[in-house]
Structure 1
């Protein structure tokens, strides 16, 4: 993680944020603005590569049309159960249509562990309609209540 984008109040260092993003196999919550200006939040699978967070979704997904109109987003990656910890931040996002199918396959490997399941096969049959979403944090912070919750 580029340390220049980490908030000074972050509980973790850049290396610790990197480790969390690599090891956590949970969805990212991505927020963007809808065409009406109202917030939209969606959960997507993600992977972390070269300082960027990558997701994939169908080209026809509502989040894609929102991103095309306004590239600003917020994000959070945190487990639902204790101990409460995670990362959040803001970013300008970009869409990469060429990388969509490749990103989807990497996400299937990461989250499902196999490309042979019925769900994986269903996703793979639709991969040509995937677009990759690249999230490069403008700022990021982390929180970790593990010690407080263990007390």
Structure 2
């Protein structure tokens, strides 16, 4: 995916930096629109495959219900405590529901590598444990904005 960003080019992450950052981080914040039109933001574990952000969501959650009604969302992954350390990525677009819901582990070629990456990253396992409560959402972003304030240098 080509990342274009008008504002903040100086602090924008290069594609390799973006991939490394998204591969290393564990938690994102997913923003959806509730049935009454109110915004809803919730944290969630994810895995990045270089093209799409894969979200492993509880199927009986407000987030899941909101995305079933309207698959559009924005996701933020960020890190840093001090101003000069702040860095992050905002990805937005519409999610696709992949595999059975809830996920029981039925063979699925599209999920094989994603589940291997997720299990290793989040559980330290070689195979994905399935609890019958979660399922997969794939966000292939239509827009990506990134920032890395470390590129500004010391004031």
Given that residues 6 and 14 in structure 1 are in contact (C-alpha distance below 8 angstroms), is that contact kept between their aligned partners in structure 2? no
Deviation of 1:90 after TM superposition, in Å, equals 1.5
Deviation of 1:51 after TM superposition, in Å, equals 0.3
Alignment of 1:69-88 (within 5 A): 69-82=69-82, 83-88=85-90
Tell me the SS of whatever aligns to 1:65: helix
1:61 paired residue number = 61
Q: 1:105 to 1:63 in 2, by over 3 A?
A: farther
Deviation of 1:18 after TM superposition, in Å, equals 1.6
Q: 1:51 to 1:125 in 2, by over 3 A?
A: closer
1:73-107: CA deviations, max 9, x gaps?
Answer: 11110015241011113211111133845656642
Tell whether 2:142 aligns with 1:141: no
CA distance in 2, matches of 1:149, 1:29: 27
2:25 paired residue number = 25
Q: 1:67 to 1:49 in 2, by over 3 A?
A: same
Q: 1:146 to 1:50 in 2, by over 3 A?
A: closer
Using structure 1 for the length normalisation, give the TM-score.
0.79
Q: Which runs of 5+ in 1 are unaligned?
A: 116-122
CA distance in 1, matches of 2:123, 2:130: 16
Deviation of 1:58 after TM superposition, in Å, equals 1.9
1:49 paired residue number = 49
CA distance in 2, matches of 1:20, 1:75: 14
Root-mean-square deviation (CA, aligned residues, Å) is 2.6
2:124 paired residue number = 113
Deviation of 1:150 after TM superposition, in Å, equals 3.6
Q: Which runs of 5+ in 2 are unaligned?
A: 106-110
Q: What is the number of residues matched between the two proteins?
A: 141
Using structure 2 for the length normalisation, give the TM-score.
0.77
Structure with greater proportional helix content: 1
